[in-house]
Copies of this chain bind each other. A is one copy, B any other.
Amino acid sequence: SVNPDLASERQTASFSVERLTALLDGGAEQTQIRRAVVEAIESDPVFSRENQYFQTQNERYEAAVRKAVHLQKKMHEMGWTENGPEYKYIYRALSGDVAFLLHRVFMRSISVLGSDKQIAKWIPLATQHKLIGSYAQTELGHGTYLQGLETTAVFDTATQEFILNTPKISAMKWWPGDMGRSATHIVVFAQLYIHGKCYGIHPFIVQIRSLQDHSLCPGITAGDIGPKMNFEHIDNGYLLLKNVRIPRENMLSKFCEVQPDGTYVRQGSQKINYFTMTTVRISLISDEVLTPLMKACTIAIRYSAVRRQSKLKPGEQEAKILDYQTQQEKLLPQLAAAYAFHFINNYLQELFNRGYGEIQRKNFDMLPELHALSSGFKAVITQHCTAGVEICLRACGGHGYSLLSGLPSLYTKILASCIYEGENTILLLQTARFLIKCFMAASAGQPVPPSVTYLAAVKHRKCPAKNKLDFLSPDIYTEAYQHVAVRLTSSTAAKLQDLIQSGVKKHDAWNQCTVQLVQAAKAHCHYIAVKNFAETVEKLETKAGIQKIMKYLCDLFALHGIFSNTGAFLHDGYTSAAQIDMVTASYLDLLAVIRKDAVPLVDAFDFTDKCLNSALGSYDGQVYQRLYEWAQKSPTNQMSPAYERYLKPLLHNTLSKL
């Protein structure tokens, strides 16, 4: 039975939830396929996540391996293939709680970096799981700056082998997933040396564990790096290499080869490497970042519709906390952001697909723009969504702090996305470098990629809004965002030039501008996100109330951004203080409007209870019952030795009667 406080929220939906779900999925057929996958996964007890919050790191790892192995069987059973339409839904259905994700990265790196012969040898073995692969790039002392990696691979012409070493403790490979306890083979990145000369970083296939008994191979020291904030199911590992010899054929050689006599031959373009990073950054947005935020919104908004606290009107019963303006101000902007980023993800996917097509035709022109957008949006979206999940957690008060709410694990997981696949500040500076370059080019009248042509366009110098309703016009707010992005880019470019002209060295000048460069990169992405949301809404079907509610969310997303960052809009007088007051008024009005549809808007994400795995977020809103039942199953409710050992002696002077 559904909690009546939640049921009533659904009766007044202004739009068709089912249609919105279909829109999010990309069509009703996709929804059907997705639901079939979810059903198949969730009905299989091997994939259950029921005890997840009670498990130790060892138990989580073991369960993830069990699931990974079982998944092979399941796919065969269901007729799912890696190229089939079901595949992309499996990971979401498992909530990522499965091992051997790096096995896929191992395979992809061989496919991309290996010669045809290497692909023919290794890919079938990996596909049939006759080995377990991983990918070892990061070192204890080296992350983002690949040129700084210290692992060495010295070519020995006598034996036609590479000799691999991690010469210092900081050179130890550290973090690779699946490597701590599972992997038998890895792709290792190391500095290639031939006849004493360094040729830079190259990839090598190295066997680290026996296929007979899984013992470590000679010269290999490896293990698990220990407890982390999340990812307990993954055996992130460390690896020391001491004079490990591998055959010459094990250097991945699509682009570079070492010939038997030690001649180094470079062939083809390596630009495609950047494309690989772009691929990864775009692909992680959906599953690793948007899904957690959507889940957090679902949990926090459903809970806020059933939780009652204090009285809003004297004499009435306690109010739903969702009716408080401050609670709406916490949660609804996160909901709007989840939709905004869903649509920008579609935009990036499209751009990516177009770019991939061009690259197939050996045209690399789109790469810089793709790199800048994927870097910037990876940073902006992960940052925004991480903050959003934290807000959802805190908005649920004490119960949000219980692991059983599901929110702590969502937070600790999404937080990692700010760090992995490129640290966010560094990524934003990549975007900023592109922006500055394009701004200079555009200022000089040279052509620039489509996403940055606006940098050269001169528009209004004042925001034309006359009343608060004007700020519900996408043209008005999109232009305000555009103006801010141009201003921050141009003023930082000017500061940079001034510094250089005043004699500061180029690299010092750059460092002295980085705080402001980061601001410019964020403003650029924010502008594109707002513009894309507005354009998407424009094209939506007007039926079933979809366009109307999406328009409200778009407005909220845009106005929340202005409200939270008024200084950027006020700075050069483009927006006046009176206009900022109009923004505030419209923004607060919108909260009350969207609040009415808040529950249907999270229902449209279509997470099952098992997928949410939350005592607060279930579809029926029976929060207290679920918390109590679940808590009783906690291992902390088993007998503890603490009583006999410590409490009994302490209470030794027992009083029969107090």
Tell me the A residues contacting B by CB distance below 8 Å.
53-54, 56-58, 61-62, 65-66, 68-69, 72, 121, 125, 128-132, 138, 140-145, 148, 169-170, 172, 174-175, 180-182, 184-185, 207, 211-212, 214, 223-229, 235, 238, 307-314, 318, 323-327, 329-330, 390, 393-394, 397-398, 400-404, 408, 412, 415-416, 418-420, 423, 425, 429, 505, 507-508, 511-516, 518, 565-573, 577, 580, 584, 588, 624-625, 627-628, 630-638, 640-643, 645-651, 653-656, 658
Contacts and interface: CB of A to CB of B under 8 A. Distances in A.
* Of A185, A326, A515, A636, most B-chain CB atoms within 10 Å: A636
Given A62-B642, A211-B655, A514-B325, A628 B238 contact: yes
Contact of A651 (B132, B228, B642): B132
B650 A404 contact: no
Given A181-B636, A404-B227, A651 B211 contact: yes
B58 A635 contact: yes
A624 B170 contact: yes
A293 B40 CA distance: 46
A401 B416 contact: yes
A238 B505 CA distance: 64
A460 B617 CA distance: 52
B647 A145 contact: no
B318 A145 contact: yes
* Of A175, A235, A634, A638, most B-chain CB atoms within 10 Å: A634
Which are the 7 A-B pairs with shortest beta-carbon distances?
A566-B567, A226-B634, A567-B567, A224-B636, A227-B403, A229-B408, A145-B310
Stoichiometry, as copies per complex, reads: 2
B655 A130 contact: yes
Contact of A318 (B148, B566, B650): B148
B641 A223 contact: no
Contact of A658 (B68, B128, B131, B514): B131
B54 A226 contact: yes
Contacts of A238: 628, 631
Contact of A640 (B58, B429, B658): B58
A638 B223 CA distance: 9
A625 B169 contact: yes
16 contacts: A56-B56, A58-B635, A65-B642, A129-B651, A141-B307, A144-B309, A169-B624, A174-B627, A207-B658, A211-B651, A214-B643, A227-B634, A325-B513, A397-B423, A516-B584, A571-B577
